[in-house]
Structure 1
């Protein structure tokens, strides 16, 4: 009975070459490198929150809007820009996007007031809008299907590590040279990676590495299908909708904590901005490590029972809720920081399982669009509202009070994942039938 409910993609494994070419790992490294730049450009802002607040007299709501506007642009534009990337070419689109967010980050460095900074940050978001979905589509297309949860988690963990680097490096540069120079350093690093990617990665060199499933799809197939057929593929089952929604809700926690931890340490632990940024970076590192570990653990646990990935997602969300709910109600001190760090370890743990669910429940020909939909849900339900909602509440009841409410988001995500698990086996059969029908 177990084989009847296995993911449709697992049968492709035997068709894929056992060896993964070194070039595939080079592409993976460069693609993750750009994701690091993406999040370094995005999160360097959080390291200089205290400086901007002092320089321009900004409220927490205004500070939160500078962070949330990036995720808002990503959420609104990720789907249309990902569809365009499928048509125009994923590699060319990646290069254009990375160049745009790097130049926009340079614009942040020369901003003279809140309005100019807000516009520059919006363009950072426009540049980053489709990168996550297009980048992961490139990575998954050149590796075996059995590694999907691990690769998805490892790729998305680049966001956490990029945030760590953005906070740590940005905080150090800002402390010694000023906040404008912190943005400038991030912009230069991004442009250097753009040049490297342009020189090394091409569609022609990627083609021989495509997996059996991806290679079987004719180029542009996902784009030539009708809008109705595309929507049917993206929202064909209850379980995939739950994967989108649950993933979005659970990412509200890391987004809120990444944005506000430097300010939390500055206000409640009396740390200077540079030291607070470094301390927050250490805690954010826990999120990145957790994403990789949780993704790998999910692949191992669900190897012979595919619906277990839903159980791991639920477990990670409940662990995050419990640890953070207790942590933020403790007195300031080492024990509080230890519990917050442990909670952050699990705060994005469902990222790998969610990505694997989406890949398994959609045809390879529309994976870029499917991950764009996942990115849309992640941003509109979690990443975009997190910072500004926390800021709005903080202006009313204080930052600590606002952070005490944040852990309830993964509790809601766990409920959504539980609903998805109930439908997963039957939905896999339905998707398999649709694929069989489409192949004839």
Structure 2
């Protein structure tokens, strides 16, 4: 398969080989697809709710466990380190084993880790809990998109992926605000019960982690679709192709697949920026802009949820619509939206009016989130179904290792370092003060410069947009190459 050549230029016109789209197979597939999508979306919502609950109570955890901004930022590092390292293993397993059973194990593990976070007594124990969370979530993050790619055809794949990934910011919003709200109100609930020591941020993790244990049970009963069932290929040939194992040459081809590599690197820069902003925004609005912890969590949560609905829906719809005549739109839409987000991120950091801060934050997040559906569709469209698990896993590995594995930590370190009076007295400090990035005194009397820390992400956003735009020229040829490989492998298997 590695030596197969396809002429350059626009993708050839599709000629479906199987039953007509309106036939009974398509009807059954649609019914199964909708049901499976609903279950996977709900679990994805719980995934991000559990992941981001920490951001909503981070200030409380820091005070209780005595952590600096650098230590607080490193918690995301430990989570994403295990998440990234386990992802390739899960991708390899997912291309060979029943994916729904693997999902059940992953969902159960991350839910137990979330509940366990409420029991920690030190920074060290918290890093262990976050690491276990990463192992569990790696399973789901890798395998769920491959199942969806087997259920939704190319013509609607960007919208399906965008809708699925809506759970990310919605779960973020629910996790950030929900955890903050539970932490604030749980002391009243538990007063006089003898359970007062579990009130506050600990109770938040007990409550948000519990539903995942039930979700793990439901994963055991999800149907397992045939790999490649949604492609323009006869169902019998899709089942034949499913049994073909990728060769070393196929994996080597993935490394030189330009659409794939540009997409992965573009997503890495987005993840660096968005992951850092999502982690620190509630604390920034509280500590620097004076919103208060609960109001900051509410503002970020609502803005994130609404911007996700608009940004992801618009990005998926626009990319699908434009790609009917120009497949390159799957790159052009997210690339342009990333570049347009830059001025609004800067305005969020430096605006003084509450309304201006909230409006700029909403527009920045909306534009940045337009990339998720189209970029996931690119990966599904240029990789054969029998190695999509590995493709998504490698993608997850690199977007986090090059992205938000570092950004929250680097932003926290920048806040600590650039808050020192002697640093602010240097030429660096003078330039930061000239643009309004000044330290703020904390409750313990120390000074931290979280404004300067927030600026770390701006170059990454601009770079990501440029990378995605550069990848557009390769896409039509590599989409045609994938379909040709799939048909070739099915024919070879049937002989």
- TM > 0.5 between the two? yes
Match of 1:393 in 2: 414
1:24/1:436 Cα in 2 relative to 1: closer, same or farther (>3 Å)? closer
Please state how far the C-alpha of 1:402 moved relative to its aligned partner. Answer: 1.5
Please state how far the C-alpha of 1:101 moved relative to its aligned partner. Answer: 0.2
Aligned partner of 2:93 among 75, 84, 93: 84
CA distance in 2, matches of 1:220, 1:427: 19
Match of 1:132 in 2: 141
CA distance in 1, matches of 2:142, 2:227: 21
Match of 1:167 in 2: 176
Superposed CA deviations along residues 162-185 of structure 1, whole A, max 9, x for unmatched, are 111111211111111211110011
SS in 1 for 2:370: coil
**Structure 2 counterparts to residues 3-402 of structure 1, below 5 A:** 5-6=10-11, 11=16, 16-17=21-22, 18-19=26-27, 21-177=30-186, 178-198=200-220, 200-203=221-224, 206=225, 210-212=229-231, 215=235, 216-218=237-239, 221=242, 224-232=245-253, 234-289=254-309, 290-397=311-418, 398-402=449-453
1:321/1:34 Cα in 2 relative to 1: closer, same or farther (>3 Å)? same
Superposed CA deviations along residues 337-357 of structure 1, whole A, max 9, x for unmatched, are 211211011122211121111
1:148/1:10 Cα in 2 relative to 1: closer, same or farther (>3 Å)? farther
Normalising by structure 2, what TM-score? Answer: 0.81
Please state how far the C-alpha of 1:430 moved relative to its aligned partner. Answer: 4.6
Please state how far the C-alpha of 1:240 moved relative to its aligned partner. Answer: 1.7
Unpaired runs of at least 5, structure 1: none
Structure number with the higher helix fraction is 1
Please state how far the C-alpha of 1:418 moved relative to its aligned partner. Answer: 2.5
CA distance in 2, matches of 1:142, 1:62: 42
CA distance in 2, matches of 1:250, 1:40: 20
Superposed CA deviations along residues 14-73 of structure 1, whole A, max 9, x for unmatched, are 755554533321211111111111111110000111101111221111111112322222
CA distance in 1, matches of 2:367, 2:481: 32
CA distance in 2, matches of 1:315, 1:285: 22
Please state how far the C-alpha of 1:385 moved relative to its aligned partner. Answer: 1.7
Count of matched residue positions in the alignment of Structure 1 and Structure 2: 435
Instruction: Please give the root-mean-square deviation of Cα atoms over the aligned residues, in Å.
Output: 2.6
Unpaired runs of at least 5, structure 2: 1-6, 187-199, 419-448
SS in 2 for 1:349: helix
Please state how far the C-alpha of 1:9 moved relative to its aligned partner. Answer: 7.4
1:108/1:12 Cα in 2 relative to 1: closer, same or farther (>3 Å)? farther
SS in 2 for 1:328: helix
1:187/1:339 Cα in 2 relative to 1: closer, same or farther (>3 Å)? same
